[in-house]
Chain A
């Protein structure tokens, strides 16, 4: 029971409170770049969840069984970048061969995620938070879901913005950034929710 509670707490924390895009400001590039349409935004979000999960599955063992025993924890960043990049390329090849339809729908997003800071951020934060393997995977799933949530919400906001008529100097990027900051502020409202629900 305790384990389920802990895992649920991790998911709630990473989706709502420590949302990667809106609270930690990681992965802003796809957040602004591909949030114009709802279907693209959700496609990107699903691809990110997928990549975050496999990246964590690969990097957590490397950190725990290869780097830490040798006292090489400081190699974390460079090794993770290397592994994630190679992994995403590998997944792309596999998808292209065995699941061409999925490959087509993920399309250009998959290679784009290769160098996404949100993915690197998740893997590194899992280590610094001292999670075990299961907790790390759950945390990655939560972060991915949080990213998807932020993308979908913001896509909705942007679709409304297309119809709005802001002053000329605000059109395009300026109004988008202003809207992003307001959505981000809205997410601060979730600040105390996890401690209230689960206790400290």
Chain B
């Protein structure tokens, strides 16, 4: 018999034996999956984003089936529709999901920020951040190499003029981008909000001014002009108390550097 044929036969034979053993083993020794778990798993979207706090959709389904008292409204990408289905399977009352969207809390694009050095390394924010906190003067701003864009499953993030933008109408609020951002700039908030502070720099006004034209100076104009008293300055950065905010948008008009944004942030669930 020719050696080539023999070699093929041997490898094929071993492959078949392995396959047969595995097939038999998985048939006879399969562990029955909990029925509720399988049903719940079918309802979940399968994005495996981890927004629920479990390791992927399988983990959440397992927790729902086995741990009593696990909330049915934890799936953020699935939102109300999935929560309703899960509640049906579990036989409990459906709870409302708070839809969230991601937002990049920085507006230091290439027109606004000053550069300190030129970064010529691998195309990743995490890598650039390790080299003296990124190429920009402001080490608390968006690096713009798109780590968030790479992890987004919905293509909701684009890099424009060196800064990441979230298209909230595509965003499902899974929070993968928030975990990927080395500067922790991306925040998840309920998409009913209308006003956001778009700067994360806590340094003093004069220092910020030297680094970025769009950075919050901590001047307090917004604080004085807010009729509801909803804005305060914490560490030289405006912070909005959303319990008091009515979404009038006055702070946006008054902000000299446009570090407050007033817009409709409705998330992807509503479209």
Contact = CB atoms under 8 A, between A and B. Distances in A.
B126 to A, nearest CB: 9
Contacts of B19: 86
Contacts of B29: 93-94, 96-98
A71 B6 CA distance: 10
Contact of A86 (B3, B22, B30, B130): B22
A5 interface: no
A93 B10 contact: no
A58 to B, nearest CB: 10
A70 B8 CA distance: 12
A169 B19 CA distance: 49
A200 B132 CA distance: 53
Contacts of A100: 31
Chain A binding surface, main DSSP class: helix
B199 to A, nearest CB: 23
Contacts of B30: 93, 97
Contacts of A67: 10
A83 B26 contact: no
A142 to B, nearest CB: 27
A136 B220 CA distance: 75
A87 B14 CA distance: 12
Given A71-B3, A169-B132, A171-B130, A93 B14 contact: no
A183 interface: no
A86 B10 contact: no
B118 interface: no
Interface string B28-61: 0111000000000000000000000000000000
Contacts of B22: 86, 89-90, 93
B25 A94 contact: yes
Nearest to B133: A168
Interface in B123-176: 130-133
Contacts of A168: 130, 132-133
Given A70-B6, A96-B31, A82 B15 contact: yes
B221 interface: no
Interface of B is mostly: helix
Interface string A150-170: 000000000000000000110
B6 A83 contact: no
A75 interface: yes
A169 B25 contact: no
Nearest to A86: B18
Contacts of A70: 6, 10
A172 interface: yes
A82 B18 contact: yes
A79 B11 contact: yes
Contacts of B67: none
Contacts of A96: 29, 31
Contacts of A197: none
Given A94-B29, A168-B132, A66 B21 contact: no
Interface in A71-107: 71-72, 75, 78-79, 82-83, 85-87, 89-90, 93-94, 96-98, 100
A7 interface: no
**Most B C-beta atoms less than 10 A away, residue of A62, A82, A93, A169:** A93
A100 B18 CA distance: 23
Contacts of B14: 62, 79, 82-83
Given A70-B10, A94-B25, A169-B131, 16 more contacts: A62-B14, A67-B10, A75-B7, A75-B10, A79-B11, A82-B14, A83-B18, A86-B18, A86-B19, A89-B22, A90-B22, A93-B22, A94-B29, A96-B31, A97-B29, A168-B133
Interface of B: 3, 6-7, 10-11, 14-15, 18-19, 21-22, 25-26, 29-31, 130-133
15 contacts: A66-B10, A70-B10, A71-B3, A72-B3, A72-B6, A72-B10, A79-B14, A85-B18, A86-B22, A93-B25, A93-B30, A94-B25, A97-B30, A168-B132, A172-B130
Q: Which 7 A-B pairs have the closest CB atoms?
A: A86-B18, A97-B29, A93-B25, A93-B29, A96-B31, A90-B25, A93-B26
